Structure 1
Amino acid sequence: MAGTRTPADEARETAVEAALARLDLDAKAALLSGQDMWTLPALPQIGLRSLVMSDGPIGVRGVRWTADDPSVALPSPTALAATWDPELARCAGTLLAQESRRKGVHVLLAPTVNLHRSPLGGRHFEAYSEDPYLTGVIGTGYVQGVQSGGVGTTVKHFVANDAETDRFTVNNVVSERALRELYLAPFEAIVENARPWGIMTAYNTVNGTTMTEHHYLVNEVLRGEWRFDGFNVSDWLAARSTVAAIEGGLDVAMPGPRTVYGPALARAVRDGKVTEDKVDAAVRNVLRLAARVGILEGAEPVVTELPDTVDGAALAREIARRSFVLVRNENNALPLKPNGTVALIGAAARDARVLGGGSATVFPARIVSPLDGLTAALPDGALTYAVGADPNTELSVFDNGFELRAVCRDADGNALGSDSAPGGQIKWMGTTGLPDGVTHDRLHTVELTGTFTPRESGPHTFGIQGFGPFRLTVDGTTHYDDIQRASDDDPFITFFGAPVPHAQVELTAGEPVDISLTHIVEVPDDTAMPAVMFAAAHQDPRRDPDDLIAEAVAAARNADTAVVMVATTERVESEGYDRTHLTLPGRQDDLVRAVAAANPNTVVVVNSGSPVELPWRDDVAAVLLSWFPGQEGGAALADVLTGAEEPGGRLPTTWGSLSDAPVTRVVPADGELPYTEDVFIGYRAWERDGRTPAYPFGHGLGYTDWTYDSVETDGTTVKVRVRNSGTRAGRETVQVYLAPAAPDPERPARRLAGFAGVEAGPGEIAEAVVELPCRAFEIWDEKTNSWSFVKGSYEIQAGRSISDRRITTTINV
């Protein structure tokens, strides 16, 4: 399935075999073990340079988590999937390859193609969709784009890493059919159509075997059936056993230098516990990757002519506006009327949240907030702003008004080096993450030092995120000097969890004060991943929420249109933990209701990476979903609200209330999480249970209307003719669903079989051409352990969403 080898592939294989033959056992074992947080060791004796990996998926951080080396920040993966455009995904990948090369990165740790099994999954913003077909198509475009720039990908997290609760230990019990039809399907499609150079195996266990040791899924399915020939890297700290991991098909154990490979692997071979040919197979995969990216002497890289340079800011803006999903638009509330006045309301309009929390975080050189974007787009005097309600009910990491640096010192107080820290966050993982001149063996303290200029007068709260000894000083007074304890075994939960408040200081707007947070670094000698991670946190003076809402209502009454921004926070959507509810944080629901009562022309923009409940949705004029829109989100929002561009997104995931959601269990019991819903997740489950969501899969409105004129098929190709029956040019995403004519309780009522985007001017006709994959007619037969083509009569249903199917034809296969 992964394709046949070309002459260039064969030449690289020859170079790989020659290099492998010149390595002794210790060198081979060392190559399979990270030498630090992000790299594999160089082997000069065979002309192999060090391989560098970096987190993605919306930007390329590089080996240092610092704003001194900024990254382009694209919209979230849910936003990319909402474009329903694999070519745009390919463009995103091409840009990220460009960013990778700029930062000296050979392999991007992305994309994430796990499914939205339950809306409670805390990391869903980093994955694409609830549908395996859509996920596979978008992921294929992304991988093709990255690798067209000569940079490898690692499709992750293989497999069934669909929630965060107890992710290191949970045993997900999944039927073979559900694995094949849902969770493995995006990986299979990407392996077949994009030939990725890497796969990342997950933390979790599947059916009793941890994924870094899963011989069946890795060696028999991934490498055997699908003929995947790339390298298999563990998620960071996921590898647990030397012998079981190498037998299970794991090539590289990250991070280093202390892993289950390296000297431990060489010793296992010498002790007769592992045969050296297993080591050779893994080394061969790593050398093949090195040859492909151009760091193995004597091997020509796959890409010798780079793609054209991509404008990162322009692409981020295009993806954002193409991803925005207009789910409601009564009386043509959008686009905004020319020369009208607008009251922009919401803390997220001023302090934009453009990306999700966790390891996907990058530092863009600039962020365009909605307030920035609309200020630039609207005439002077047309826009007013009110906070209304703040979703951040807890402290958040330092942001506006702080000018900080991190100063590193040894035990004698001597300065070793420094780094910028504009957000008050320190995330130095491994030796490569430290500032120049700093080493873990000499590092004793890190001081965040600088100034804070408040934008509001009143009592400001300061606190700390992280664990260990800290001293916090504000304006010359020490408010905390003690040890903050870890709250959980998972370091992500401890670090990305709620900051602890330790001081409240009365400050005056515009008057800067000195800030210092000193941390005594305690890195155990035997730790597998030396890391320095902590953050300073802050909260503006808390005003009476009722007063803030009253101010927003007054602003709304005096404007032609009220635009309310509501948002989630990093405490709601982040790596490391799942959600317990889908409600918006703080008083945001109250804010929307009050503004809508004051101004019937209220537009709500929802700034979240995944579904939230919108209990007021029928009481407002328009609802626009903006996801986490990346660094240019505010400019893109202005484009869409003013009508310069139309919202192009369609829902990649069903939105509804938690009480109606069919699959809500993400918490294991006694270490196990059974996927009792089997193949029924997302729209498949909503339809089976006869439940009506707030907004169905595939839904999305534009600024024009479309009429579906005809559909025809020869059994493999579907052609749908649509007419732009509105008054302006637009783009339509034509969706094709395949439904067995005879209902079968063991099969979904219908499934997405294909889609295509078309563009047309007013009155013009366009034709969408969709190829029907053979897999759309197949199910996994657990009796024969194989795919089974289900013959019979099928309806081909074309339309605008899973519940808005406009035109139908029938075929017999």
Structure 2
Amino acid sequence: MNTPVETLIARMTLEEKASLCSGADFWHTKAVERLDIPSIMMSDGPHGLRKQPNGPGEDHLGLLDSVPATCFPTAAGLASSWDPALLRRLGEALGQEAQAEGLGIVLGPGANIKRSPLCGRNFEYFSEDPLLSSTLAAAHIEGVQSQGVGASLKHFAANNQEHRRMSVDAQIDERTLREIYLESFEKAVREARPWTVMCAYNKVNGTYCAEHEKLLTEILRDEWGFDGFVVSDWAAVNERVAGLAAGLELEMPATDGDRDRLIVEAVRSGELAEAVLDRAVHRLLTIILRAHEAHRPQASYDAEAHHQLAREVARECMVLLQNDGTLPLVPTQRIAVIGEFAAKPRYQGGGSSHVNPTRVETPLEALRATVPESLSYAQGFAIAHDFSDAALLEEAVAQARGADVVVLFIGLPERYESEGYDRSHLDLPANQKALIEAVSEVQPRTVVVLANGAPIMMPWASRVAAILEGYLGGQALGAAIADLLFGAVSPSGKLAETFPQRLEDTPSYLSFPGEGDVARYSEGLFVGYRHYDSAGVAPLFPFGHGLSYTRFTYGELSLSSERLGRDETLTISFDLTNSGERAGKEVVQLYLHDSSCTVPTPDQALKAFTKLALEPGETHRVALTLTRRDFAYYDVEQQRWCVPTGAFEIRIGASSRDIRLTRSVEVEGDPRPLPTIDRNTLIGDLSDFPQAREYIHEALAPVAGDVPLLAAMQGSKEDEASEMMTAMWRYSPLRALISFSGGSFNEVMLEQLLVRLKMLK
């Protein structure tokens, strides 16, 4: 018996089926009124809805203001919470607001890797680490979809720069693509099952993402089990028929029917099988009807409750980078608040994710409410330009000199980072750098609060007492900052990206953003902390770093087993104690170091984490579990994930550079297949296979005694010269046996050896 969707498809004309594959306008899917197929509306929404109003004045280009919605912190801040449960609650709030606004799909979250701190859209992405990114994306999606609204995981894949984003070709070796850039999406797809996935503008290895069959069908659907529909980023489609065949179901925005006609013509000409179109329509209708049936016409949400959630989220996201004891502040201090960002905060990023907030609580308002009698304010600089104003600077210095402590609000103006273009440097504007220098000269007790969507350089860090990374903290950032500065809660955010000392230290410095339309990912696997830790480059602030007003002690590490078998998991347990005098939260991080030397790999990689709240003196037994996949690398030749045999070091820490506990575990790896056997196969590549090694020794036995090099290869001596010659043999091809035998080993003998070796396959 046919399903309702199959029944609908059977009744549709070819033209009606093709029409569903593109939008009705900028935000809506097409309806088919004859068959009661509804239209659903989509909206931007990684950190807040950007629903645009319908009606006579409808914006067909998606440029006008949107209806009011709660503006939460952007993804750069959300990731610094390291808290999937918090991300799920945020997703639920977004889903509730979407229901109230009649939306079917919220476009987000963005799970692209932060390859370079220069990417203009980094504020909208989670992390440089794929595990952290995919875990938080999954929680976000689950929260949104729990409310009967679909999420759209984006931008699939390798959308890591804004420069020439609609034409650039991201050229990435397959192991790096799998272990870094696709890994950032995989967990979210497998576990959270997003209703839609949005494909990126760019090419990957020569093919546009919008028509990349390997990405959209072979990996996304066949391997990961994705069962929703793929939507294009807006105007990302190159060849529509090729895209449909590759697995791109919905093109957005509307194309006035031009693309629909191409699909119809392709089916009629035989270029495109109608079964392919039917499959796409089936996927579209499944989600459209699901969203329509889940819609609650009387839905509403509590704007004040969501504002308070935004405050809580912002507190969890902000990172205390540095503190000499000046923080937390006390209300009896004379506090000078300096910097225009205090009165006119930058609380979100620019571009398509820009939210019209229900209200904005500024830092200056929140601080004045906390210390109404002893607080002064000076503008210090103008956000609108980069040059210093002598009068503003003089006023700021006077305020700083007469205060007990300065809270200095600085950061990046919106023009410095946005969707559509990348940054060219990591500097603050010149007027802000001059302000920091002047204020810190007269007031060493200066607390810097940052507003930025990505790392900046801080040559002034040693001159200030404390630094609070506020990121882009959403509409309730003011109260959240006051809560943290005065110690109402202890800071608990940890960096989800590395802050470099210099742009030149970043792993992609020599290859970002590329040459013309080609971006070569020449740093390979060594992205973010993987580069800094492997190359021994000291960061300004490391991945996973964040201070607290309390202290945490790690101890009593134990493993469920000293050896990981082929069908086993490993549980790592240890005690975490709040040894300070305040309640607080700690993010514990587990990194793996591969000592097997099977393949080149970064020094360490994050494999598990959790965030715990502890009262003073409280101890909690933490248990983290690793699966065999956590120990695996992607074997390009075998086209699968493989676990190497050997030792791994488990590292438990408070950041990637603050490792507190270590323990080694032996891992039983996956059986390795023989390499391709021919005359150019390296001898060393066969040395780990006992039968192959035996065949080689048998073939050489009659002549080895007369030829020192052959004898050395067989290991008949254990002296220094023999070890040297053995090492040389390891990287010699089988045909070299002839050259070094002095005629004792010939082509006929080699062919006989090759026949025996090939039989092992």
Give TM-score, length-normalised by structure 2. 0.82
CA contact (8 A) 2:91 2:139 kept: yes
Partner residue of 2:539 out of 693, 702, 722: 693
Partner residue of 1:278 out of 256, 276, 282: 276
CA contact (8 A) 2:131 2:183 kept: yes
Deviates more, 1:694-703 or 1:713-722: 713-722
Structure with bigger strand share is 1
| Residue 392 of structure 1: aligned partner | 384
Aligned ranges for residues 83-232 of structure 1 at < 5 Å? 83-232=81-230
Structure 1 CA distance for aligned equivalents of residues 310 and 581 of structure 2: 28
Q: Would you say how many aligned residue pairs link Structure 1 and Structure 2?
A: 647
Residue 71 of structure 2 is aligned to residue 58 of structure 1: no
1:390, CA displacement in angstroms? 2.6
| Residue 606 of structure 1: aligned partner | 450
1:120, CA displacement in angstroms? 0.8
**Identical-pair percentage:** 40
SS of corresponding position for 1:294: helix
Q: 1:645 corresponds to which letter in structure 2?
A: V
| Change over 3 Å in CA distance of 1:34–1:751 after alignment to 2 | same
Structure 1 CA distance for aligned equivalents of residues 109 and 178 of structure 2: 19
Residues 621-680 of structure 1 show CA distances to partners (whole Å, capped at 9, x for unaligned) of: 100000000000001101110111111210000001212222223323132111011111
Structure 2 CA distance for aligned equivalents of residues 725 and 167 of structure 1: 49
| Change over 3 Å in CA distance of 1:713–1:309 after alignment to 2 | farther
Structure 2 CA distance for aligned equivalents of residues 153 and 260 of structure 1: 28
Structure 2 CA distance for aligned equivalents of residues 133 and 282 of structure 1: 31
Deviates more, 1:605-614 or 1:549-558: 549-558
Partner residue of 1:234 out of 212, 232, 235: 232
| Change over 3 Å in CA distance of 1:224–1:259 after alignment to 2 | farther
Structure 2 CA distance for aligned equivalents of residues 19 and 45 of structure 1: 11
Structure 2 CA distance for aligned equivalents of residues 590 and 670 of structure 1: 36
CA contact (8 A) 1:391 1:586 kept: no
1:169, CA displacement in angstroms? 0.5
Q: 2:32 corresponds to which letter in structure 1?
A: L
Give TM-score, length-normalised by structure 1. 0.77
Structure 2 CA distance for aligned equivalents of residues 38 and 123 of structure 1: 22
Structure 2 CA distance for aligned equivalents of residues 690 and 307 of structure 1: 53
| Residue 757 of structure 2: aligned partner | none
Aligned ranges for residues 679-758 of structure 1 at < 5 Å? 679-714=525-560, 716-742=570-596, 746-758=600-612
Q: Structure 1: which 5+ residue stretches go unaligned?
A: 1-10, 296-300, 395-541
Structure 2 CA distance for aligned equivalents of residues 230 and 642 of structure 1: 47
Structure 1 CA distance for aligned equivalents of residues 29 and 369 of structure 2: 46
Structure 2 CA distance for aligned equivalents of residues 209 and 684 of structure 1: 28
CA contact (8 A) 1:253 1:260 kept: no
Q: 2:441 corresponds to which letter in structure 1?
A: A
User: CA RMSD of the aligned region, Å?
Assistant: 2.0
The 4+ residue runs of structure 1 with deviation greater than 4 A are 65-68, 301-310, 742-745
Q: 1:571 corresponds to which letter in structure 2?
A: R
Structure 2 CA distance for aligned equivalents of residues 719 and 15 of structure 1: 50
Partner residue of 1:254 out of 248, 252, 255: 252
Aligned ranges for residues 286-305 of structure 1 at < 5 Å? 286-295=284-293, 301=294
1:302, CA displacement in angstroms? 10
- Higher RCO, 1 or 2 (CA under 8 Å, sep at least 6)? 1
SS of corresponding position for 2:430: coil
Partner residue of 1:354 out of 347, 369, 376: 347
Residues 251-287 of structure 1 show CA distances to partners (whole Å, capped at 9, x for unaligned) of: 0111004366322211221122211111111101101
Partner residue of 2:479 out of 635, 647, 662: 635
| Residue 313 of structure 2: aligned partner | 319
| Residue 625 of structure 1: aligned partner | 469
| Residue 662 of structure 1: aligned partner | 507
| Residue 805 of structure 1: aligned partner | 659
Aligned ranges for residues 747-786 of structure 1 at < 5 Å? 747-786=601-640
Deviates more, 1:584-593 or 1:157-166: 584-593
| Change over 3 Å in CA distance of 1:304–1:41 after alignment to 2 | closer
Q: 2:543 corresponds to which letter in structure 1?
A: F
Structure 1 CA distance for aligned equivalents of residues 256 and 405 of structure 2: 59
CA contact (8 A) 1:172 1:672 kept: yes
| Change over 3 Å in CA distance of 1:71–1:308 after alignment to 2 | closer
| Change over 3 Å in CA distance of 1:260–1:611 after alignment to 2 | farther
SS of corresponding position for 1:587: helix
Partner residue of 2:375 out of 372, 383, 388: 383
Structure 1 CA distance for aligned equivalents of residues 256 and 607 of structure 2: 46
CA contact (8 A) 2:489 2:584 kept: no
| Change over 3 Å in CA distance of 1:597–1:168 after alignment to 2 | same
Structure with bigger helix share is 2
Deviates more, 1:49-58 or 1:306-315: 306-315
Structure 1 CA distance for aligned equivalents of residues 295 and 623 of structure 2: 32
| Residue 522 of structure 2: aligned partner | 676
Structure 2 CA distance for aligned equivalents of residues 253 and 335 of structure 1: 51
Structure 1 CA distance for aligned equivalents of residues 261 and 463 of structure 2: 65
CA contact (8 A) 1:67 1:364 kept: no
SS of corresponding position for 2:504: coil
| Higher radius of gyration, 1 or 2 | 2
CA contact (8 A) 1:759 1:766 kept: no
Structure 1 CA distance for aligned equivalents of residues 146 and 309 of structure 2: 17
Q: 1:364 corresponds to which letter in structure 2?
A: P
Partner residue of 1:580 out of 424, 427, 439: 424
